[in-house]
Amino acid sequence: MVKKNTCVFISGKGSNLKNLITHSRNYNFPIRISLVISNNKDANGVMYAKKYKIPYIFINSKIKNNDKEILLNLKKYKISFICLAGYMKIISYKIIQKYQNRIINIHPSLLPKFKGLNTFSRVLKDKEKKTGCTVHYVNKQLDSGNTIMQKVFFLDPNDDEPSVKLKTQKMEYKAFPEAIIKIFRYI
Ligand code: GRF
């Protein structure tokens, strides 16, 4: 199998990045993680790039037109697929256009419910019966691209924000790799 050169964008903890790295080391997994981009120099996730000797770069998201630098690096590392894994910035339209249907994101709710930030507190406030995570294509509207995969769990009356986060992330570690396998199944 020819693996797709993939870039993972992160901003923080990087547990999804770590999970994707683990899966990508499997011979049959369709992607190779060839580059990690972080907008945050202190992102814990960068540690995983270092540990597994994956090239990584920092992008200063305060600088205008930083998409030029991003695009140059995507070209340099021959990137054909992008995973957003806890990346807290909006991807510019130029990049979305260039990588149309080749950028996916993981979101900690059952989209279209609870787009944006602070999902866990909103899920609890609205007394949802169930929640979960969504892997979706990225388009120019926030958290609105087509869904590739969702994982659902039922909330418990004792759930609080930390427990919902824990349960959601557990689902994410299944959903993200499964979504990638689903995308490349017939290619
Ligand atoms: C995940 O919960 C993801 O759904 C959201 O950001 C979080 C990133 O976590 N977009 P991590 O950095 O992968 O641990």
Tens-digit pLDDT profile for residues 136-160: 999 999 999 999 999 999 999 999 9
Catalytic residue among 23, 107, 151, 167: 107
With left for phi above 0 and alpha for psi between -120 and 50, is residue 63 left, alpha or beta? beta
Is 165 a pocket residue for ligand 1 (Cβ < 6 Å)?
Answer: no
pLDDT digits (tens, 9 = 90+) for 93-105: 999 999 999 999 9
pLDDT digits (tens, 9 = 90+) for 108-128: 999 999 999 999 999 999 999
Is 44 a pocket residue for ligand 1 (Cβ < 6 Å)?
Answer: no
Mean pLDDT of the chain: 96
User: Which pLDDT belongs to residue 187?
Assistant: 64
Determine the Cα–Cα distance for residues 102 and 183; give it in Å rounded to an integer: 10
Q: Specify the length of the chain in residues.
A: 187
Determine the Cα–Cα distance for residues 64 and 36; give it in Å rounded to an integer: 20
Q: Which ligand 1 atom is the nearest neighbour of the CA of 84?
A: 10
Is 131 a pocket residue for ligand 1 (Cβ < 6 Å)?
Answer: no
In this predicted structure, the answer to whether residue 65 has a pLDDT above a threshold of 70 is: yes
pLDDT band at 186 (very low <50, low <70, confident <90, very high): confident
User: Which pLDDT belongs to residue 63?
Assistant: 81
